[in-house]
Amino acid sequence: MTGNSTGTEILGVGIIGAGPVTQAIHMPTLSRLGDLFAVRHIMDADPSVAESVAARAGARHSSSVEELLADPEVDVVAICSPHRFHAEQVIAACRAGRKAVLCEKPFAMNAAEAAGILVAAKDTGVPVVVGAMHAFDPAWLAAESHWGTLPETAHTIRSTIVLPPNSRFEDAATEVLARPGLTAPDYSDPAAVRSALHGGIMGLAIHDLPLVRRFVPHFEDLEILQARHVRPFGYLVSLRAAGRSIELRAAMGNTWKPAWTFEAFSDDAALRVDFSPSYVQAGSAAATLSTANERRSFGPYGHNGYEGEWRELARLAGGGAPRRGTESLIDDLAFALAIAEPSAEAATAELMGADA
């Protein structure tokens, strides 16, 4: 750790996994937050990717998690590897006694992994942030501080995502190294539909599920009403929980105009938040709270949820009290799993029924 011009400590960052998200999202964000962070160590399973990405930041590189976690200049750890490694790497970073851990979404892929994270976080006291950036967006936070009773009174909640492929945004942000090739799945195979639906909820809808949960803190009665896969990549899921009607819709294809909207409606008020697509670093979302008599707008502000999540990590690393404990993050994951698994089953059953 070194000091900045205001005498505050600059936190050394170690990043595990240096794919497009590290290259196009976190490195540009950290370069704007040089008064708080300095990238010290980049680890990737592919040593050549680790070396090239580290060179961009003048950081050390390795292909070993243990080596990164043993680096004395690493104060905080960001986990940006593929989903299946998140839980074990969060646990290792907590056990290594780092000051704070940022884990890309999803936190974990099943309840057993989530339980392991909870034990490690409690044993070690290391604070963890999940990179669900919309929850840190200043327009979302401004709307939250003005929406009054909307979480108790909302009856309908809707997340709508229409996006071109991620590569369009990644390429606008940086020159991505070693992007894996994509092959189109065979959607006549029920296993491919199952995997696409599950992946859509755990990989894409999951950005907004912590926002939905703000309106649905308890979800024991969650019921999937309808779940369909949308080609080439997307989903239509309709569910009920805690007396609320929830719609999750996504379509990724060759659209020129991206749209990413979160809405909540009660009998006499409505919230609408327009987020920019992932990877875009052009300020915050814009939010509107409306009633019959009033319309209040929040944002866009100059910084986005990516900066927000890193600022929160710095606050926690400095000993600040967590705004949301690890239990609450685990509940977000349980909510996502409670939607992903039955939705994947329902979409597959429908396909098999159509084939019968």
Ligand X SMILES: NC(=O)c1ccc[n+]([C@@H]2O[C@H](COP(=O)([O-])OP(=O)(O)OC[C@H]3O[C@@H](n4cnc5c(N)ncnc54)[C@H](O)[C@@H]3O)[C@@H](O)[C@H]2O)c1
Q: Which residues bind to ligand X, rule: CB under 6 A? A: 16-21, 25, 43-46, 49, 80-83, 85, 104-105, 131, 133, 180, 203, 278
Between residues 102 and 118, which has the closer beta carbon with respect to ligand X?
A: 102
Comparing every residue's Cβ against ligand X, the nearest one is 19
Q: How far is the CB of 321 from ligand X (least distance, A)?
A: 24
Rounded Cα distance between 299 and 139, Å, is 5
CB of 137 to ligand X, least distance (A): 12
User: CA dist 47 to 43, 50, 60, 177, 276, Å?
Assistant: 8, 5, 12, 12, 32
Between 67 and 350, name the residue whose CB sits nearer to ligand X: 67
264 contacts: CB under 8 Å, gap ≥ 6: 150, 154, 156, 157, 158, 215, 270, 271
Strands 270-274 and 233-241: unpaired
Least distance to ligand X from the beta carbon of 50, Å?
Answer: 8
Closer to ligand X by Cβ: residue 10 or 87: 87
Contact in structure between 195 and 201 (CB atoms under 8 Å)? no
Please enumerate in sequence order all residues whose Cβ is within 8 A of that of 131, keeping only pairs 6 or more positions apart, or say none: 78, 102, 103, 104, 105, 306, 309
Closest CA relative to residue 82, chosen from 248, 202, 252, 170: 202
Smallest separation, CB 65 to ligand X (Å) = 6
CB of 81 to ligand X, least distance (A): 4
Question: CB-wise, 10 or 314, nearer to ligand X?
Answer: 314
Pairing state between β 100-104 and 128-131: parallel
CB of 300 to ligand X, least distance (A): 17
Give the length of the chain: 356
Residue placing its CB nearer to ligand X in the complex, 72 or 181? 181
Taking the complex as a whole, how short is the minimal distance between the CB of residue 23 and ligand X, in angstroms? 7
| Cα–Cα distance, 130 to 209 (Å, whole number) | 12
Which residues fall within 8 angstroms of residue 39, CB to CB, at 6 or more apart?
Answer: 13, 15, 27, 30, 54, 57, 59
Q: How far is CA 206 from CA 73, 84, 120, 350, in A?
A: 32, 15, 23, 23
Q: How near is the Cβ of 240 to ligand X at its closest, in Å?
A: 27
Contact between 96 and 34 (Cβ < 8 Å)? no
Of 131 and 151, the one with the shorter C-beta distance to ligand X is 131
Nearer to ligand X, 9 or 46 (CB): 46
CA-based radius of gyration for the chain: 20
Residue 241 or 314 having the CB closest to ligand X: 314
